[in-house]
Amino acid sequence: MRFLFFALVDLGQYDEAELALKAYLDMIEIHVRVKGTSADEALSHEQLVRLDVESKYEITITMIAASRLYGKELERPDEALKCANDALDNIHKYLQQHEEAKELFHDAYRCQGIAYGLQGAKSKKSRITLDVAPSKFFPDLNHDAAVTLFQSSTRTRETTRALCQSCRILGQGDSSLPCGV
């Protein structure tokens, strides 16, 4: 299931990848509950394949990839944060002595930070309102076009900078921008 998840992400089939991820996590939970088997018990690769057991490392890299999927492709920061936190818990509990622990920490903390940023952007986006008539700033545009321009300008920093530059060119200055941008 883990390989199916990664293949679907690579193919851009994000909804199906999410379903494969959920099935993978359910499978891992069943293995732990029913069999009580842990792949980290000095088993050979052949034994792991025969027992169909995932190691803590494989679970962790899958959780990091899931965090990226939820954050980047599906725009669901809460799920991205949960996956990143689960990966960090796994690293702290089981993988601190692993040879790739530093890279795992880096990736997991990066995903966690991105998820927090997405949550902040999502909450800020929901609070943005226009206090003044947008047509005041762009008299040549109708009201709906001006509202759309302002809403799209809050999506990215680059767009906001471009809007500031446009206002400077028009001679209106930064103080004419809504929402204290």
Residue by residue, DSSP assigns 65-93 as HHHHIIIIIS--HHHHHHHHHHHHHHHHH
Tell me what pLDDT residue 92 has.
93
pLDDT of 77 over the 90 cut: yes
Residues 23 and 85 occupy one common structural domain: yes
For residues 23 and 128, give the distance between their C-alpha atoms in angstroms, rounded to a whole number.
38
Expressed in angstroms, the distance from the first to the final Cα of the chain is 46
For 153, the domain range is: 128-180
Same domain, 74 and 100: yes
Residues 72 and 133 occupy one common structural domain:
no
The reported pTM is: 0.63
Q: 135 and 122 share a domain?
A: no
The residues, any chain, with a CB within 8 Å of residue 55's CB and separated by 6 or more, are 39, 40, 48
Where is the domain boundary, 108, 126, 144?
A: 126
Query: Could you tell me the pLDDT band of residue 28, with boundaries at 50, 70 and 90?
Result: confident
Enter the tokens of residue 49.
């394949």
Residues 151 and 71 in one domain: no
Residues 79 and 45 in one domain: yes
- Residue 53 pLDDT more than 90? no
Query: 158-176, pLDDT tens digit by residue?
Result: 556 666 666 665 555 455 4
- Considering the domain architecture, whether residues 94 and 147 belong to the same structural domain is answered as no
Does 63 share its domain with 140? Answer: no
- pLDDT category at 130 given cuts 50, 70, 90 is very low
Could you tell me if 6 and 65 lie in one domain?
Answer: yes
Taken as a whole, the chain contains a residue count of 181
Pair (12, 22) in one structural domain: yes
- Say if residue 36 is in the same domain as residue 91: yes
3-class DSSP assignment, residue 146: helix
Residues 108 and 151 in one domain: no
